Chains A and B, each alone.
Chain A
Amino acid sequence: MSSAKTDTIEVSGLTKVFNGKVRAVDTISFIVKGGEILGFLGPNGAGKTTTLNMLSTLLKPTSGTATVNGHDIVEESDAVRRSIGYVFQDPTLDIELTGRENLDFHGRLYNLNRNLRKQRIKEMLEIVQLTDRADNLVKTYSGGMKRRLEIARGLLHHPKVLFLDEPTLGLDPQTRHSIWEHIQRLNQEKKITIILTTHYTEEADHLCDRILIIDFGKIVALDTPDKLKAQLEGDVVSLTFKAPEMIPKVHPLFEKKKWIRRVHLLSVDDNQATTNRMMNMMHGMAAGSGMTGGINHGSTGRSRMPKHLEKMQPHGSINQNSFSNQALGSKRLNLLVDDGGHRIPSIVKLVDEAGVALESVELHKPTLDDVFISVTGRNIRDQRGSFMEMVRRHRIMRQARGRQTHG
C-alpha cells in the first residue's frame, strides 16, 4: 500500500449493483494523489455520479473498498464526510434563503463556530465574487451565480477533497470558463484535491491532471490528457460520405493501406451496441470476457492500437455482420493516419476510384474526443441514436435506486 500522505483517495474493486441486476459501477480501482485534479469522463449513465455517491458515503458499495483522506467510506463515514465537499449535479441550494444564509446553514451543519463562519463566508464570497449579492435571495441568482455559490459552499468547511459533479452542465461558454478559472485557482491556492465528472471532453482536457474514462461502469482508460492523446499516433482524417450505404464499400480499401493505422466509424447508430451492452450489464456478464456477439465498437482493428489502450479495451472481438448493420446509420469514417496532411490526396483518390461520393474531408490532431471513441467505440457527443435507450436506462436506474436503502 502506498502511503496515505500522498494518496488522498484509494479505490479498490469498488462495485455498485442496483436491484441485483444493474452493474452501475463495476470493480473499479484507482488512486488519486493529493492536490490532483482527476476528471471522470464518460457519457450520461456511465457510473460517474454513482461512484461519487459511494465515495461521499451517500451510497453503500455492493462490494469493494475505498478510503478518502485515509478514512474508510463505510466504516468511518463521519470522518469521510468531514473531509469532503460535494457540489452536486442538480442544484441543492435553498432558493428561499439568501446566499449568505445558505453558506451559514452549511457552516452550522459542519459545526463551525460563529467567528469562523463569519470569516470563512466573507472569504469564500470574495473568491467566487458574490459579495455584493450575498444578501439577496438565491432565487434571484443566475445559473452561473448559483453554481459559484455551491462551489463556495462546498469549500466552506475546508475539505481536503472536493467532488464536482458536472460543474458546468448547462452553463453558457463564458460562465463555463469563469467556473474553470475558479476551480483551477482553488486547486492551486488551497491545494485541494478535486474529482470532477464531466461529459465535456474539452473541460476534462482543460482542467484535469489526469482523466479517467468510464463507460458502462468500467474504467477504460486512465492517464494524463497529453498521454492519452499521444497514444493515438498520427492525425485524424474525418471523411463524410453522401450516403451511408457506401461505407462498407470503401472500408476494405482502407484496411489494406499500411499508413492507415486505424479505421473508425463515427456517428454510428449506437442503439444496437448500447442495447447489447446494456443487456450484458444487466445480466451481470460485463465482468470478464463474456461479451462477444453483436458487440461492436465500430472500429475494425488491425491491432494498430497502442498496446496500452488495447489492453484497456473492454470488448476485444469484432463482429463483421454487426458492423455492416451499424454502417447503415452512419455517414462518417475516421481514419487515424500517419502524416495525414500528405495522405489526403491519396485517400480522396482511393474513394474516388471506388466510385463513392464524398461530402467533406477534415484533418485534425487527435483530441480527447478521438481518444474517447477509440476506447469506448462511441462518440461521447453522439447520443441521439441511443436516446430512447438512455431514457429507459435512466428509468431503470431510478427505479432500482428507489428500492435501495442507505443511511
Chain B
Amino acid sequence: MVQPLSGQAIYVVLLRELKRYWRAKARIISSVAQSFFFLAIFGLGLGGFIGGVGKVSYLSYLAPGIICMGLLFGSVFSGVSVIFDRQFGFMKEMLVAPVSRTSIILGKILGGAVTASIQGIILMAVAGIMGAFTPTPALAFGALAAIGVMLLITTGFVGLGVAIGSTLNDFHAFQLLSTFVIWPLFMLSGAFFPIDAVPLPLQVAMLFDPMFYGVELLRWCLLGVGTPMLGPFGWLISLGVLTGFNALMIGIGTYLFSRAQV
C-alpha cells in the first residue's frame, strides 16, 4: 500500500522524541559529563604533552572531535531505539494508525537528529567555556554553521541506527554494536590525531569512515582549519560525502524499517 507522507505524523513522532529526550535528564547529564572528562583530561593532559596540532592548541583540536563523539553515540542509539518501540509495543500503536511507515521513520530520524544535535550544542558551549575556540566575529557564524553541520552529521547516523534496530531482535547485541560499530567509527574519525600523521593503512580506514568528514567539517566551522590532505576544498568534499552517506542511510533505514515485523 502506498500512502502519502504526512507532515503531521512526522511532526508528532519528532515531538515524542523531544519529550522523551528532555525527560531523561540523567542521560543528558551523564553524556555531557563524559564528553567533558574527555575534553578536560585528554585536552589538557595530552595537550600539555603534545602542545598543539598545526596552529591550534590540542584542546581546540580535540573539541570538534569530542562534540562528534556526542553526536555519534546520541544519534546511533536514538535510531537503534526502534528496537525498544518494537519490543515494548509502542510501534504497533503507530503502525495501525492511518499514516505511512515512511512518515513514522522520517519523524524518528528527524527526532534523533534534533536531539543528538541539541547534545552537540551543549557540548559546543562547554568547549567554548573551556576556551577551546578563539572568540572572534567569525566564530559566531562558524557556530551557527556548526549547528547545521551537526544536523547533517546526525541524520545519517540515526538512519544507520534505525537500519540496525530494524534488523536486530536482541538487546544483547548492544554491546557488540558499541564495540564493533560505534567505537571504531569514533576512533577512526580523526578526533584525536591528524590523518597526515598516521601510517597508510590507517589513513585508508579513516577515509572510509563517514564520521571523519563530520569531524573535518565541524573543525572547519569552529576553528577555520582543514586537513591539508583534502586540499583547500576539504569542507566541500566533506559536505558531499556526508550528504551521500545521509541519502544512503535514510534509504536503507527506511527500507529495513518498512520490512521489519513488530
Contact = CB atoms under 8 A, between A and B. Distances in A.
Contacts, number: 79
B259 A78 contact: no
Contact of A92 (B1, B8, B89, B99): B89
B172 interface: no
A77 B8 contact: no
9 contacts: A81-B97, A86-B92, A88-B89, A91-B88, A94-B16, A94-B20, A106-B97, A108-B8, A111-B98
B262 A58 contact: yes
Contact of B259 (A88, A91, A110, A407): A407
Looking at A88, A92, A94, A404, the one whose CB has the most chain B CB atoms below 10 A away is: A92
B97 A402 contact: no
> Which of A57, A96, A407 has the largest number of chain B CB atoms within 10 A?
A407
Interface string A115-145: 0000000000000000000000000000000
Nearest to B4: A78
**For this complex, into which size category does the number of interface residues on chain A fall?**
20 to 34
B170 to A, nearest CB: 12
Nearest to B88: A91
Nearest to A59: B261
Interface in A77-113: 77-78, 81-82, 84, 86, 88, 90-94, 96-97, 101, 105-106, 108-111
B136 interface: no
B20 A97 contact: yes
B23 A92 contact: no
Secondary structure call for the A interface: loop
Contact of A93 (B8, B20, B90, B258): B90
Given A77-B1, A81-B97, A402-B261, A105 B16 contact: yes
B30 interface: no
Interface in A55-79: 56-58, 74, 77-78
Contacts of B16: 94, 97, 105
A78 B3 contact: yes
Q: Which 8 A-B pairs have the closest CB atoms?
A: A92-B89, A81-B98, A109-B97, A108-B12, A92-B93, A90-B89, A77-B1, A82-B98
B97 A405 contact: no
B169 A94 contact: no
A223 B88 CA distance: 36
A106 B96 CA distance: 11
Nearest to B103: A109
A108 B8 CA distance: 7
Nearest to A95: B88
B101 interface: yes
Contacts of B241: none
Nearest to A404: B261
Interface residues on B, range: 20 to 34
A407 B97 contact: no
B177 interface: no
**In terms of DSSP, what is the predominant structure of the interface of chain B?**
helix
Contacts of A406: 261
B95 interface: yes
B90 to A, nearest CB: 5
A163 to B, nearest CB: 9
B221 interface: no
Contacts of A56: 96
B261 A101 contact: no
B173 to A, nearest CB: 15
A320 B19 CA distance: 64
B96 A58 contact: yes
A190 interface: no
A401 B98 contact: no
Given A81-B96, A82-B98, A109-B97, A92 B259 contact: no
A86 B96 CA distance: 8
B99 to A, nearest CB: 6
Nearest to B87: A90
Contacts of A78: 1, 3, 98
B94 interface: yes
B127 interface: no
Nearest to B16: A105
Given A401-B261, A405-B259, A407-B259, A96 B1 contact: no
Contact of B99 (A101, A109, A407): A109
B9 interface: yes
Given A77-B1, A406-B261, A407-B258, 19 more contacts: A58-B96, A74-B1, A81-B97, A82-B98, A90-B92, A91-B89, A92-B90, A93-B93, A96-B24, A97-B16, A97-B20, A101-B19, A106-B93, A109-B93, A109-B94, A109-B99, A111-B8, A405-B259, A407-B1
Contacts of A106: 93, 97
B217 to A, nearest CB: 33
A110 B89 contact: no
Interface in B142-186: 169
Contacts of B3: 78
Contacts of B9: 108-109
B103 to A, nearest CB: 10
B98 A110 contact: yes
